[in-house]
């Protein structure tokens, strides 16, 4: 198991290297009868495309998706949906240096230790291009969730020291700013900050937040398959993520029970919560409130400043990484985090379909 | 699937409610030939026992473990190890109020939404007693890891606003202070803080850190089964955890690449890292450095102050929770976090055994 | 993974050795709200109890089951159901000979090769007592299936050369004859045959058939999780089973398409099949007809005749197996095969709950 | 989960319909460092190609495989191997009739019942072309197994009433006869039999046998993941298989223990068995002898004779199936059965790598 499959019922399997023939994903377990077109998937992939702004690598990649199976007359058939994205823009390049030595902050060393050797061209399987399969599968999951009234919104919450102002939250800005920030002013300042980083041959990190509305209470399972546990795994599995928070996250450790508990109350005859410190999940199960999570992203490890490292011959060397690299991963990772959340949530929804005898009897009438 | 099974090769299945006949775990896939006695497991369980200090519930629970299978002549046989811990101290109690209404910060409401009803006695499956099976399985995993030179150390890093001083780190203090802090002075101040909380009928949260030494490079798989992704899931699946950090965690989002990358260098002829911001994991695979993770724990939701909530009849009510409750979950959760890390790491080690043809040929010589 | 867990949603984990403290099973993923009592399970276990007739070992085992978790007020809660059956009748015995040498037809040799040593007392994990957990889990599955109008009936089809006469089929006889044959005359002849086997210090094999009525069309998944594939695995995983047939089974290989295809026709306005050579499964998916499967069981390997074998010191020896053994496994395995079919079918039913958007929308109305 | 993934460590995911863009498989968990070329895979695929003889459909399909990922410099990298086979020969065709009514013996009706509709072009996902992914993955598994000295040989044992004569067994004939029989005389008679079937607008069934040499003792796990249970599932999951036998299979049910048990003896200082009724597996674990299994294949359901059936409007109709169909599935399924056995065995070998502490210590030296 090289760990390329995720999910119990909505089960995705990704494959591909940055400089191989292409990348893709097989989505198994998508319910039959979901309307689906290439555009539904392409529009998600376009959100992670490079070359769209000054703060993104100037590489141009079409990243055009082809649906190879599982869709018939623009509806999912219930059988596996295979998606293929050909690599087109990969420079033949000179990888002698990367092949020979270990870039700090990258997986070169650990792949060599694990497998004995590695596909060193552009990071191979550990490249950021690996996320293409995730986003393609996430697009389908998000489409399915939308049919149940569930909507996901991810955005950049901060880049380096620049955070958005919640009071200035403008959803339209997410897709219009190069930073994916829902605050145009903060975005402008973040762009300035990134320009400075680039001038210093350096890179920056940041925080992505994802909120999910319309989730019915009851998704997620007790103990190991808690909804928050699976969200944490899904999001932490994205390269460069070093911390995951649910709801108030790290804030809870310095709070008291009296201020952290969310009181229940009645609104329009229904049970709701008067606060949402828990981020929509209690005991690992969705509580009907908005789900809130955050991912902390490390600075791009590929920087142009010279760095100390070693080579495969156990010699200390100094390298300067060349090529085309994003000064910050965050804006392009927004759609990746949103996709991982969608994949996790749809799987929880499908698993939960078998949780109660009374609901099963509505499906299987005898 | 009620989500009670975890792991690919070292696969554990826990069961049990706080006020049922007992709790336990079945550990499947433990390698044959590991020396194992009841004491190896009991000593771990004793670390999570209540009633050991002023800042812990005065409930007395023996929590004595019985090995029902899988061990013969004090060695594991390779077949499932079934462990049983009988509930003995559960008061018959009056659960009318808990049965009727939803405690804020608890899973009462979400269980009712998911399953249509719930075992309301003492929280049932969502009780903290559910972790007994985790700790029993973690004890075995830690024993197995120790045979490969891998050692885990978890401790309380902070309680409310009181943090340990890294300069005063004293490993012996972890098991001697009631807070599980490796800093006796900080521990004394945390005890004072908790006393104040209790006087206010309130509770506190905190942070647990776990470090793992001796891990060989190469454990964990690319993409979804990254070692950090599985650690995040395992730790986030512990009730009350709201955030998980790996290495520098949330710190990376405000850092630059030049200061966040760990340079490689040669030491005694071997490749090592000159820093460890990454917390021992690169690209989801262990890099041979110390693994570092942190869990942020929310304040105990059961507080004696009156709280607003609703009952099953959709009426707003006010409840005061009675019974015996810890003012802080953190000290007793230290061994739980350590156990989840051990379980995850052993599974990664076993899965990795099949990763390379050259190593397989040392096992299967033809 | 020692292979003790089965199922995707209805997931069972068995444990225990013949001469350890006991045996049991954890049933995870049983839907909440199923009425369940100890009697529902005990009545299944009683069907596999030994000592019930002349052709069964005279060992007396109470095999009384205790429900440790997952049931509250006589309904399943959705959380894991842990079942414990204590071993009570195991003789302390002298296992020197079994410990030292490999019984032909048993797993002694293969366990030693796999694990380096084994729990040699009474076969350990490879004992027929291992099936207790299967039957306990099967009882719950059968109870759940009955709520959807699905009924399983297993019986002995043949013992040695004696087969039942389909024209004499009497369902009541299944639980009344010592052979579990639904044909009292054939049963009497089979008893005579077994007496002769016992006189010769020998043993016999036979065939078990299981039919399942009331299965809705649509259960099972294309490709690897075909319903017949999972039935084959579940039944072949029972010790002593050497062949599994679905529908006409081995008969199809000498038939022609024109006589093997089942024509469809309309009956009472509904689509039905005019024949059932396929045994109720087409393309791995239930077709609404009766499901039919057969398991071929080898003769009990423990026979009193002296046999050639070797010991752990690689010396050829001759052993005579002592102790209490059934001359035929078939009658007591009938309920085991029925249980494995029930477990497989319930899991397929639960997995299928998420297969279609239109059905999901009846559960999740927004 | 549409059931398209199989295996614990060597995990394959197939996808594709007969008349879509193509078919393929993602192989995850193949050990790193295995030499692998396109030819290794293509030579397996060529064995299932149609159009190679008079008794095979005259359809010409190139079925050329492309390796999209996971192989670098002609060695596997340990990351997922994605294989793509484009559909090229699919006639645009007129599927009106198939779309409207249910072919007897096919999965048309069950797919409609399960998913609400189906991709009716050429059988869609239930087409025999679905096996292309299995064979591609099987080729890689067989290559890996050969590195450990394990060799698989599958062949046609019978077609209709014509069986091979074990005394005339000629391995070279398997790939040279159009029937894949290792007996040229039997093959000639089978061809004659098939000609007669075709003249009658009818089809035939048969039996495939697969033997596996060089398997070390110890593969397979007790209880549910028995090697024979997984072989049964893998082989029964191939469309048209209706029965699976291990070793003497159905023969054991009429045998006695004294003649069915395999005695152990010493040969060249090693423990071997003096007979092999068990087919190389005891207690679900390989015993070091040759593994033997058989699959019983039903006659091709697509026959040219008119058949009674119904349409989607619940009307009884009579259909005559047109198109290009094999009169017998058996010869082309030989490599499919061999592939499924190889996939199952490699997975068992990889899972077993973590079964013993002593062997793990040879991998992880501290």
Note the pLDDT tens digit of each residue in D35-90.
999 999 999 999 988 666 777 766 667 899 999 999 999 999 999 999 999 998 76
Instruction: Report the DSSP beta bridge partners of residue D35.
Output: D75
> Where does the pLDDT of residue D336 fall: very low under 50, low under 70, confident under 90, or very high at 90 and above?
very high
Q: Name the closest residue on chain B to residue D8, using Cα atoms.
A: B8
Helices (H), chain A: 38-48, 96-100, 108-115, 131-146, 184-199, 227-236, 257-260, 330-352, 357-363
pLDDT at B130 over 90: yes
The mean pLDDT of chain B is 94
Angle between helical axes of D330-352 and D38-48 (0-180°, round to 10): 140
3-class SS of residue C333:
helix
Backbone angles phi, psi at B32, to 5 degrees: -70, 145
- Quick: pLDDT tens for A191-206: 999 999 999 999 999 9
Residue contact C147–A357, C-beta within 8 A: yes
Confidence at residue D91, expressed as pLDDT on a 0 to 100 scale: 63
Confidence at residue C295, expressed as pLDDT on a 0 to 100 scale: 98
Q: What is the mean pLDDT of residues A116-127?
A: 90
pLDDT at B366 over 60: no
Residues of C whose CB is below 8 A from A32: 355-357
Q: Could you tell me the CA-to-CA distances from D173 to B25, D176, D270 in Å, in that order?
A: 54, 5, 33
Q: What percent of chain B has pLDDT over 70?
A: 96
Backbone angles phi, psi at C243, to 5 degrees: -160, 145
Residues of A whose CB is below 8 A from C347: none
pLDDT at A108 over 90: yes
Query: Quick one: DSSP state of residue B129?
Result: G
pLDDT at B210 over 70: yes
CA angle A156, A161, A162 (to 5 degrees): 50
d(CA A179, CA A184) in angstroms, rounded, equals 9
E strands in D257-329: 264-267, 270-273, 281-282, 285-286, 291-297, 307-310, 316-319
3-class SS of residue C293:
strand
Q: Name the closest residue on chain C to residue A358, using Cα atoms.
A: C33
Q: Chains touching chain A at 3 or more Cβ pairs under 8 angstroms?
A: B, C, D
Query: Quick one: DSSP state of residue C266?
Result: E
Residue contact A26–D17, C-beta within 8 A: no
Label residue C47 exposed, middle or buried (CB < 10 Å: 0-12, 13-18, 19+).
Answer: buried
Count of A–C CB contacts within 8 Å?
Answer: 88
Confidence at residue B11, expressed as pLDDT on a 0 to 100 scale: 98
Residue contact C260–D298, C-beta within 8 A: yes
d(CA C42, CA C62) in angstroms, rounded, equals 10
Query: Quick one: DSSP state of residue D284?
Result: T
Residue contact A222–C360, C-beta within 8 A: no
Of C33, C349, C360, the CB nearest to A358: C33
Label residue A39 exposed, middle or buried (CB < 10 Å: 0-12, 13-18, 19+).
Answer: exposed
Handedness of CA C163, C166, C168, C170 (dihedral sign): positive
d(CA D350, CA D346) in angstroms, rounded, equals 6
Which helix (H) or strand (E) covers residue D163, if one does?
Answer: strand D162-163
d(CA A296, CA A245) in angstroms, rounded, equals 9
Q: Name the closest residue on chain D to residue A350, using Cα atoms.
A: D1
* Token digits of residue A282: 């209690």
d(CA C214, CA C345) in angstroms, rounded, equals 12
Residue contact D9–B364, C-beta within 8 A: no
> Where does the pLDDT of residue C323 fall: very low under 50, low under 70, confident under 90, or very high at 90 and above?
confident
Label residue A330 exposed, middle or buried (CB < 10 Å: 0-12, 13-18, 19+).
Answer: buried
Spatial CA neighbour of D139 closest among D208, D83, D218, D217: D83
Residues of C whose CB is below 8 A from D279: 242
CB of A134 closer than 8 Å to CB of A336: yes
Confidence at residue D55, expressed as pLDDT on a 0 to 100 scale: 73
Helices (H), A218-329: 227-236, 257-260
> Where does the pLDDT of residue C122 fall: very low under 50, low under 70, confident under 90, or very high at 90 and above?
confident
* Token digits of residue C78: 């959705």
Distance from CA of A34 to the nearest CA of D (A): 11
d(CA D232, CA D153) in angstroms, rounded, equals 17
Backbone angles phi, psi at A71, to 5 degrees: -125, 130
Which helix (H) or strand (E) covers residue C310, if one does?
Answer: strand C307-310
Backbone angles phi, psi at D348, to 5 degrees: -60, -40
Q: What is the mean pLDDT of residues B70-98?
A: 87
d(CA C192, CA D107) in angstroms, rounded, equals 45
CA dihedral angle for residue D9, residue D10, residue D15, residue D18, rounded to 10 degrees: -150
Of A15, A75, A119, the CB nearest to D72: A119
Confidence at residue B321, expressed as pLDDT on a 0 to 100 scale: 87
Of B116, B234, B279, the CB nearest to A356: B116
Task: Spell out the domain ranges in chain C.
Answer: 5-363
Residues of C whose CB is below 8 A from B77: 115, 117-119, 124-125
d(CA A338, CA A341) in angstroms, rounded, equals 5
Of B126, B264, B314, the CB nearest to A104: B264
Q: Name the closest residue on chain D to residue A19, using Cα atoms.
A: D69
Of B13, B32, B116, the CB nearest to C13: B13
> Where does the pLDDT of residue A172 fall: very low under 50, low under 70, confident under 90, or very high at 90 and above?
very high
Residue contact B70–C15, C-beta within 8 A: yes
Confidence at residue C89, expressed as pLDDT on a 0 to 100 scale: 72
Residue B258, Cβ neighbours under 10 Å: how many? 18
Count of B–C CB contacts within 8 Å?
Answer: 158
Of D106, D205, D231, the CB nearest to C282: D106
pLDDT at A265 over 60: yes
Residues of D whose CB is below 8 A from A32: 114-117
Q: Chains touching chain C at 3 or more Cβ pairs under 8 angstroms?
A: A, B, D
Label residue A312 exposed, middle or buried (CB < 10 Å: 0-12, 13-18, 19+).
Answer: middle
Distance from CA of B225 to the nearest CA of C (A): 17
Furthest-apart CA pair in chain C: how many Å?
73
* Token digits of residue D118: 């189906």
Contact residues, chain D to chain B, C-beta under 8 Å = 8-9, 29, 31-34, 78-79, 144, 147-150, 214, 216, 222, 349-351, 353-364, 366
Q: What is the mean pLDDT of residues B218-222?
A: 97
CB of A178 closer than 8 Å to CB of A187: yes
User: Predicted ipTM?
Assistant: 0.97
pLDDT at A167 over 90: yes
Q: What is the mean pLDDT of residues B79-101?
A: 84
* Token digits of residue A56: 């993104």
E strands in B190-322: 206-213, 241-246, 264-267, 270-273, 281-282, 285-286, 291-297, 307-310, 316-319
Confidence at residue A50, expressed as pLDDT on a 0 to 100 scale: 67
Q: Name the closest residue on chain B to residue A358, using Cα atoms.
A: B116
Confidence at residue A321, expressed as pLDDT on a 0 to 100 scale: 87
d(CA D131, CA D238) in angstroms, rounded, equals 8
> Where does the pLDDT of residue D100 fall: very low under 50, low under 70, confident under 90, or very high at 90 and above?
confident
> Where does the pLDDT of residue A98 fall: very low under 50, low under 70, confident under 90, or very high at 90 and above?
confident
Query: Quick one: DSSP state of residue D166?
Result: G
Confidence at residue A125, expressed as pLDDT on a 0 to 100 scale: 93
CATH class of D5-363: alpha beta
Q: In sequence order, what DSSP letters do the residues of A103-137 get, joined into one string?
A: -TTSSHHHHHHHHSS---GGGGGGSGGGHHHHHHH
- Quick: pLDDT tens for C158-209: 999 999 999 999 999 999 999 999 999 999 999 999 999 999 999 999 999 9
d(CA A111, CA A293) in angstroms, rounded, equals 30
d(CA C28, CA C69) in angstroms, rounded, equals 11
Q: What is the mean pLDDT of residues C284-303?
A: 97
Q: What is the mean pLDDT of residues B238-256?
A: 97
- Quick: pLDDT tens for C241-280: 999 999 999 999 999 999 999 999 999 999 999 999 999 9
d(CA D36, CA D355) in angstroms, rounded, equals 28
Confidence at residue C91, expressed as pLDDT on a 0 to 100 scale: 63
Residues of D whose CB is below 8 A from A24: 68, 82
Confidence at residue C49, expressed as pLDDT on a 0 to 100 scale: 80
Q: What is the mean pLDDT of residues C279-294?
A: 98
Q: Which of A322-326, B134-138, C64-68 has the lowest mean pLDDT?
A: A322-326
Q: What is the pTM of this model?
A: 0.97
Confidence at residue C302, expressed as pLDDT on a 0 to 100 scale: 93
Residue contact D102–C264, C-beta within 8 A: yes
Helices (H), C83-226: 96-100, 108-115, 131-146, 173-176, 184-199
Confidence at residue A100, expressed as pLDDT on a 0 to 100 scale: 87
Q: Which of A96-100, B57-61, B316-320 has the lowest mean pLDDT?
A: B57-61
- Quick: pLDDT tens for D201-222: 999 999 999 999 999 999 999 9
Residue contact C359–A361, C-beta within 8 A: no
- Quick: pLDDT tens for C39-93: 999 999 999 886 667 777 666 678 999 999 999 999 999 999 999 999 987 665 6
d(CA D112, CA B120) in angstroms, rounded, equals 43
Residues of D whose CB is below 8 A from C286: 110
């Amino acid at each position: 198991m090289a760990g390329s499959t995720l999910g119990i019922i909505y089960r995705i399997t990704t494959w591909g290297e940055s400089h191989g023939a292409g990348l893709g994903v097989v989505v198994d377990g998508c319910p039959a009868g979901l309307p689906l077109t290439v555009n539904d998937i392409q529009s998600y992939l376009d959100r992670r495309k490079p070359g769209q702004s000054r703060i993104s690598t100037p590489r141009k990649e079409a990243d055009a998706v082809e649906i190879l199976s599982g869709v018939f007359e623009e509806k999912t058939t219930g059988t596996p949906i295979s998606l293929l994205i050909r690599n087109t823009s990969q420079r033949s390049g000179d990888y002698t240096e990367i092949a020979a030595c270990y870039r700090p902050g990258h997986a070169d060393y650990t792949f060599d230790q694990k497998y004995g050797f590695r596909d060193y061209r552009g990071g191979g399987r550990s490249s950021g291009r690996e996320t293409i399969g995730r986003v393609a599968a996430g697009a389908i999951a998000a489409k399915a969730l939308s049919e149940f009234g569930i909507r996901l919104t991810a955005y950049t919450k901060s880049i380096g020291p620049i955070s958005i102002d919640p009071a200035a939250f403008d959803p339209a800005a997410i897709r219009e700013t190069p930073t994916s920030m829902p605050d145009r002013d903060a975005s402008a300042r973040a762009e300035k900050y990134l320009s400075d980083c680039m001038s210093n041959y350096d890179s920056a990190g940041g925080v992505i937040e994802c909120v999910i509305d319309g989730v019915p209470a009851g998704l997620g399972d007790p103990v190991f398959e808690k909804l928050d546990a699976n969200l944490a795994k899904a999001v932490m599995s994205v390269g460069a993520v070093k911390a995951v928070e649910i709801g108030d996250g790290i804030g809870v450790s310095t709070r008291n029970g009296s201020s952290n508990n969310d009181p229940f109350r009645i609104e329009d005859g229904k049970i709701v919560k008067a606060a949402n410190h828990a981020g929509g999940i209690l005991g690992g199960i969705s509580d009907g409130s908005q789900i809130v999570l955050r991912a902390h992203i490390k600075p791009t490890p590929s920087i142009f400043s010279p760095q100390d490292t070693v080579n495969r011959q156990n010699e200390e060397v100094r390298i300067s990484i060349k090529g085309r690299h994003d000064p910050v991963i965050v804006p392009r990772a927004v759609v990746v985090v949103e996709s991982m959340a969608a994949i996790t949530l749809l799987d929880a929804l499908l698993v939960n379909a078998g949780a109660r005898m009374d609901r099963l009897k509505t499906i299987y009438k005898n």
